[in-house]
Amino acid sequence: MFLDRDGTVTEPRHYPSRPDDLVLEAGVGPSLRRLQQQGAALVVVTNQSGVARGLFTEAQLLLMHERLRDLLADHGVTLDGIYFCPHHRDGRVEALAISCRCRKPEPGLLLRAAVDLGIHLQRSWMVGDFLSDVGAGHRAGCRTALVGPLGAQDVPPSGPAPDLRTVSTAEALQRISDHFDEEPS
């Protein structure tokens, strides 16, 4: 199970830069615990262009990820990994101001996590709140769920459609959990 961070696992914030900026989305903790108990690996894959833009450092980002792990631990959830892309071609930090293969909708984060953690991509889901999450999931060979207010991001006819569309992350995780052992069609 691949999960976007901001707006999916945590409440949306504009470039969160401090650990206290991270607040879990309602219902996410228990839903992730159920999936973990069913045997799902839980991996956060997140674009963090704020590093390239100079809004916060990688060290500050790692502190935020410690906070995320603590918030989830309060619900009995342990993440198997957190993978992030610090790049953005318009960044102010020269070394990070590049186009890369890890920034979603590119599938690099998912592919690297799959190799590192032995994850079967065709049996996995990518859950996120942007079409770039859906694109990354499709390119990696995963099933996809797009979460958030309906109508907020209608899928363009030329883009990949998500396999699942729900108003909330908790609802998406619940529906995935209800059919966890089913093979993809």
Could you list the residues known to form a binding site for Zn(2+), using ranges. 85, 87, 100, 102
Cα distances from 103 to residues 41, 60, 110, 116, 176, in angstroms, run 21, 19, 10, 18, 25
Residues 4, 74, 116, 181: which is the catalytic one? 4
Q: Is 4 a catalytic residue?
A: yes
Closest-CA residue to 141 (of 179, 173, 111, 171): 111
- Residues annotated within a binding site: 4, 6, 85, 87, 100, 102, 129
What are 82's two structure tokens?
A: 């957190």
Residues 6, 80, 133, 154: which is the catalytic one? 6
**Angle 43-184-169 from CA coordinates, rounded to 5°:** 45
Q: CB 141: neighbour CB atoms within 10 A?
A: 17
- Residues annotated within a binding site for Mg(2+): 4, 6, 129
- Residues acting as catalytic residues: 4, 6
